[in-house]
Amino acid sequence: MRFAILMSVLLSGLLGCPEDVLVVQEGAAIDINTLQLDFGEVNIGERSELRVLVTNIGEQPLIIEELSMQPATDQFGSVTQAPLEIPRNQSEELTLFFFPVSAQLYLGGLDIKSNAENSKSIRLELKGQGRDWSICGDCDSPPQPDCVTDRHRLIYDEQGSCEGDNQCRFAVGVETCAEICLNGVCIGGIEGADGGMLCGPGDPDSDGDGVCDSDDNCKQVSNPNQEDTDEDNRGDICDICAGFDDFIDTDEDGVPNGCDICTAGDDTIDTDDDGVPDACDRCEGHIDALDQDEDGVPDGCDLCDGESDAIDTDNDGVPNACDLCEGFDDTLDEDDDNIPDDCDVCPLGNDNIDTDNDGIPNACDGCDGADNNNNGNDDDDADGVQDACDQCPNFSDNLDTDGDTVPDACDICSLGDDFVDNDNDDVPDACDECPGADNNNDSDNDGVPNGCDECPEGPNHVDTDNDGIPNACDVCPSLNSTDQSDNDGDGVGDLCDNCPQVANPTQENYDGDQWGDACDRCPYLVHANDQVDSDLDGVGDLCDVCPGFDDSEDTDGDETPNGCDNCPNDSSFNQADSDGDGVGDICDTCPGSDDNIDVDGDNIPDACDICTSGPNDLDNDGDGVANACDICPGGDDTSDADGDGVPDACDVCPGGDDGLNTDGDNLANACDPCPLVANEGDTDTDNDGIPEDCDDCPDLPNGEGTDVDGDGRDDQCVAATCVSGMNTWPVLDYPFTTTPDRFARFAICEDAGDCPENAVCTEGRCVLGTESQMDAGVWESDESQWVVHDQETGLVWQGCMLGESGSNCNTGDRLLASHSDLAASCTDLNYLNWGGYSSGWRMATIQEILSLVDYSHITPFMDLETFPNNEAKIFSLTSKANQRETFAYMLYMEDNGTIYSPGTVAPTAKQSVDVGTRCVNGTLNQQRCFSNDDLENTDGDNDESDASERSIADYSMQLEWQEGFWGWTPSGGWEYNSVGLGNYVGSRDDYSQCDNGNPCCNMFDGKTDWRQPSIGELMTLIHTGLPQNGPPNWPQSVFGTPDGVGSTLFFWSKSRYPSSLSRRWGVDFYSNVDLVVWRENNGVFKCVRDLD
């Protein structure tokens, strides 16, 4: 083995220098390569970037927590964002930018705040000079403003010409946008640097402090008070040199003399970064402040650091304290080893180079590389080679038979060169048994290196079958054969492989036959050497699960091949088939029946087929019933409203059972006008569709519109009297249940934007909706013109009284005026196209205003949600009091909206005070019919003409009235009189209850359910009369004219007056025609009952 000779070099100086002291920061510590950054001159509107290097010189991560510009303007900024983490002994660059907007000097600072222990905050001073510039361009197509940031744009001002035809010079300027710069346009206008508007053309207020730049002593920093302590015309907040005149700068370096480090030159030029400008630098390239020996010479230029340079005894130019060779000239050094010749140990070469560290420089060392002083005898083996350099101690280095420079006594391979080892196995090639391979690698430990081993997988001498192939490499180690074929590549030779075409290195064979499991078609059938596979599915016939089909195809994974699976697409391990139809339960289309029976061939088994006469998917009328089974082709078979089994579309009598026909004619009972009499071909003289056999009025047509009183008999066939100008809705249903959502509000509009959120614009009107939506908010359109549509009467009312407006009628002043002025104001609404109506506006009649009063309650009232702010209002009406043309009726409302005494409708003498009104549009012209013929008489006298117990039917109201009334006689006691007897006196309110002798509690005409009417029921007898401005009365054509019974006829009701429960409401037909409500005088009772 060749011996390696190790040599080490230790460099040591002949001069000793003080060691540096290293202070280690345990936490994070920051160092920055400069504290001043000058961007120099930069074109206005352009951006310049510079970088500074921040280093973490501590032991923990340095976190840069905040980077903030002072002042915060758009001119200086940091591209690098905080927070920023710097690992120990690592550095990061901070990228800063300068963006001038005017030609001036800009000063600023970057405050760097961190977790550094040596300095939590460092200020990096920034400086830059904006520079004007210009471009040349076509005079006819000047450059257009261009956005350079999201708030700044470049503008171009023509200022002279350039060389070339039609070339102009354009000065470049910068404008700051108030909001954003987009496609060269300042959105929101142009402003100063802080958002303030320009002071004037060419004179902005850049810092937005309210002082124009021409007068501002700090143009870029806001200082509204303009403080200037040192009176140098530069404000304190931007003063470069506080306490001194900023504008005295002898060396013109931008630093005022009062704060100038070096007045001899530019303070910003400091090549060696020692804080001393070059113009005043005593030792360029070095830090002037370092002067360890305090001799006035900076260390970097000090000839002798540590002592005064002035003492030099031998006058060789080297101060004594640093003289290498005292008394001699240090400048003489012929071998340039920095040791003067007079003190040089080895003048032949560098004394500092002594590789073997024996004190003898190499240039003078006889045995370089060894310690010449280590042995007493220089050459113990007397071979002429000093011991220190002897390759083969104690033997002659001069005998080298193979000439490889290694003495024979120490030669590894005496046959050749020890240094030639091409395979790098430490065995020289001349002695290498296996050249080209590593002799040290012998995996099978058979003494033959792998590189030369014919079977490195095992020992070459083990060969059980004696075929010359070691067992470890023999594919059939127990079979004497040199045939090493292995077609399936499983490591088992074909001659001994139980599956020669299928790889199975382990040769597993569960059933022990001649076929391995990997290729055995029945691997679990013992000794089944028969490999016949008739259906070619890879499974032998002897173990085939599903003969005739591929056993490997099992779509649902239930271990039953598809060919034998009764539900091949649905997993069913038990293959249950309850109905035995060959279709498994889990996928049975029609459980309990044979899925294979399908007469119409529509793939739906008959037992579950809704139509076995044809395919279910043919359904031309789309009613879910197939054409072949459709009862009513073209109609919906599933729609049978009357449930008679006949679809509506083909139903002869949709309202009833077509199969029920009592009289046996061609009409079902439900559609037969004569269900008990066969009426095919019956005559119908009046052509009203009712055969004469069943027509109670055979000479006059019965039909829609001929039965006003709703008694089921034509008005022409009964003794009926019809009166126009009377409401037709039943009092107990009035006002809200007769017509759902009776009232709707709307105002004029052009589109939905003019309407509240829950309203729509329909035909020029905002339709707000139902009564429950009345408080939906304020109209977006003209609030004064909203109206209320009464869907019961068809009338349209002003939403507020004249003069008031708003959705709650709380805007404006109510118009109070005389009757004639109010009537004229209502007419004027037509000219205003009020609510979209250009005609029809007028003052309301008494009947119309009464249609808004709800009499279905004990206390009548007007709904304040529909008509807000309606309390304590007097309505002037068109209707005149009879015999008093100067009188007009009014309606007075209490604070809660209820009717207030002296009456629902009260006459007033010439209207002595101004009142208000609510105008109306439309016409109310209703008609009601009364019948008094042939009402059942049950008094026992069988005299239908007996006036003593006659009654009148009001079918519209479903009420039956006693034709006469009851009065209290002077002799005491009740007496019934019909109209015209003339001997009636008043009755007192005390008798309103049955236990006080109320006459309505008595039997009348054989009926015992008579009662005293409510105020609402009495009000149904009011006849407002025609024309519209006529006086109201009662229907005299029905109840007669009450002449001869005194000057008044007052009917009491059972309804109490709200503010005084001892008082009751009543209706007074004054002088037979005028109407008031409530009085304290005596009156009579008119009894009523519900119509049977």
Sheet holding 1074-1077, edge to edge: 1048-1057, 1060-1070, 1074-1077
Distance CA 362, CA 353 (A): 6
Instruction: Report pLDDT digits (tens) over 443-459.
Output: 777 767 877 777 877 78
Asked if the model's pLDDT at residue 241 lies above 80, the reply is yes
- Between β-strands 760-762 and 190-191, what pairing exists: parallel, antiparallel or unpaired? unpaired
Asked whether the predicted pLDDT for residue 815 surpasses 60, the reply is yes
Fill in the DSSP letter of residue 270: -
CA distance 608 to 581: 14
Which of 85-89, 163-167, 253-257 is predicted least confidently? Answer: 253-257
Least confidently predicted of 131-145, 469-483, 576-590, 688-702: 688-702
345 closest CA partner among 327, 318, 363: 363
pLDDT at 239: 86
Is the pLDDT score of 934 beyond 50?
A: no
pLDDT at site 1049: 66
Which of the pair, 370 or 548, is modelled with greater confidence? 548
Supply the pLDDT for residue 62.
94
Question: Is the per-residue pLDDT at 710 higher than 70?
Answer: no
pLDDT at 219 over 90: no
Average pLDDT over residues 98-123: 92
Task: State pTM to two decimals.
Answer: 0.36
pLDDT-derived band of residue 435, with 50, 70 and 90 as boundaries? confident
**Burial (CB count <10 Å: 0-12, 13-18, 19+), residue 432:** buried
Question: pLDDT-derived band of residue 372, with 50, 70 and 90 as boundaries?
Answer: low
pLDDT tens across 146-160, in order?
898 888 999 999 988
pLDDT digits (tens, 9 = 90+) for 168-199: 999 999 988 877 888 888 876 776 544 444 45
Write out the two tokens for 359. Answer: 């004190």
Q: If you average pLDDT over each of 476-485, 644-653, 883-892, 924-933, which comes out highest? A: 476-485
Q: Is the pLDDT of residue 923 over 90?
A: no
Number of H helices, E strands in the chain: 4, 36
pLDDT of 1058: 59
The yes-or-no verdict on residue 242 having pLDDT over 80 is: yes
pLDDT score at 894? 56
Distance CA 181, CA 201 (A): 20
Strand, coil or helix: what is 48? strand
On the question of pLDDT at 978 being above 60, the answer is no
Mean pLDDT of 943-948: 50
**Are 487 and 476 within 8 A, CB to CB?**
no
Which stretches of 46-132 are assigned E, i.e. beta strand?
48-56, 62-70, 76-78, 84-86, 91-98, 105-114, 121-131
Mean pLDDT across 125-137: 94
| Lowest-confidence pick of 100-104, 179-183, 414-418, 863-867 | 863-867
Vertex 1083 angle, CA 1080 and 1088, to 5°: 125
User: To which residue do tokens 């230029």 refer?
Assistant: 301
- Whether 597 has a pLDDT exceeding 90, the answer reads no
Is 906 within 8 Å of 1057 (Cβ atoms)? Answer: no
Structural contact between residues 320 and 337, judged by C-beta atoms closer than 8 angstroms: no
What average pLDDT does the segment 228-245 reach?
A: 87
Q: Is the pLDDT of residue 1075 over 50?
A: no
What integer pLDDT is reported at residue 21 of this predicted model? 37
Average pLDDT, the chain: 74
- What's residue 172's pLDDT? 93
| Confidence tier at 914 by pLDDT (50, 70, 90) | low
Beta carbons of 479 and 473 less than 8 angstroms apart: no
DSSP label at 591? T
Task: Give the DSSP letter of residue 803.
Answer: T
Q: Per-residue pLDDT for 1046 more than 70?
A: no
Angle at 13 between CA 10 and CA 16, to 5 degrees: 130
Q: Would you list the domain boundaries of the chain?
A: 30-130, 133-230, 739-791+794-921, 927-1090
Tell how strand 1088-1090 and strand 720-724 pair up: unpaired
Contact 1000, 993 (CB under 8 A): no
Residue 665 CA, chain-centre distance (Å), reads 70
E-strand ranges in 553-663 read: none
For the cut 50, the answer to whether the pLDDT of residue 308 exceeds it is yes
Please name which of 609, 630, 610 lies closest in space to residue 621, comparing C-alpha atoms: 630
Q: Which of 291-305, 761-775, 843-857, 945-959 has the lowest mean pLDDT?
A: 761-775
- Stated as kind and residue range, the H or E segment containing 113 is strand 105-114
* Residue 712 pLDDT: 55
Omega cis (within 30) before 204? no
Catalogue the E-assigned strands of 845-936.
874-881, 884-892, 906-907, 920-921, 927-931
What is the DSSP track for 449-516? Answer: -GGG-S-TTS-TT--TT-SSS-GGG-SSTTS-------TT-SSS-GGG-SSTTS--TT---TT-SSS-
Burial class (CB in 10 A: 0-12, 13-18, 19+), 625: buried
The better pLDDT of the pair 271, 398 is held by 271
Query: What residue type is assigned to position 102 of the chain?
Result: S
Q: Are 36 and 110 in contact (CB under 8 A)?
A: no
Residue 835 vs residue 911, higher pLDDT = 835
What's the rounded Cα separation, in Å, for the pair 757 and 776? 8
User: What pLDDT was estimated at residue 31?
Assistant: 92
| Across 795-819, average pLDDT | 82
pLDDT band at 944 (very low <50, low <70, confident <90, very high): very low
The pLDDT, as a whole number, for residue 133 is 93
More confident residue, 96 or 1017: 96
- Name the token pair of 825: 């104001």
Given a contact cutoff of 8 angstroms between Cβ atoms, the answer to whether 207 and 218 are in contact is yes
Position 274 scores a pLDDT of 82
Average pLDDT of the residues in 903-924: 59
Q: Beta-carbon neighbour count of residue 197 at 10 Å?
A: 13
ω before 83 within 30° of 0 (cis)?
yes
Q: What is the pLDDT of residue 860?
A: 62
pLDDT at 98: 94
Angle 493-498-500 (CA atoms, 0-180°, nearest 5)? Answer: 55
| CATH hierarchy code of domain 30-130 | 2.60.40.10
Q: What's the rounded mean pLDDT across residues 514-543?
A: 77
CA distance 1072 to 1032: 10
Nearest partner of 323 among 335, 332, 313, 336, judged by Cα: 313
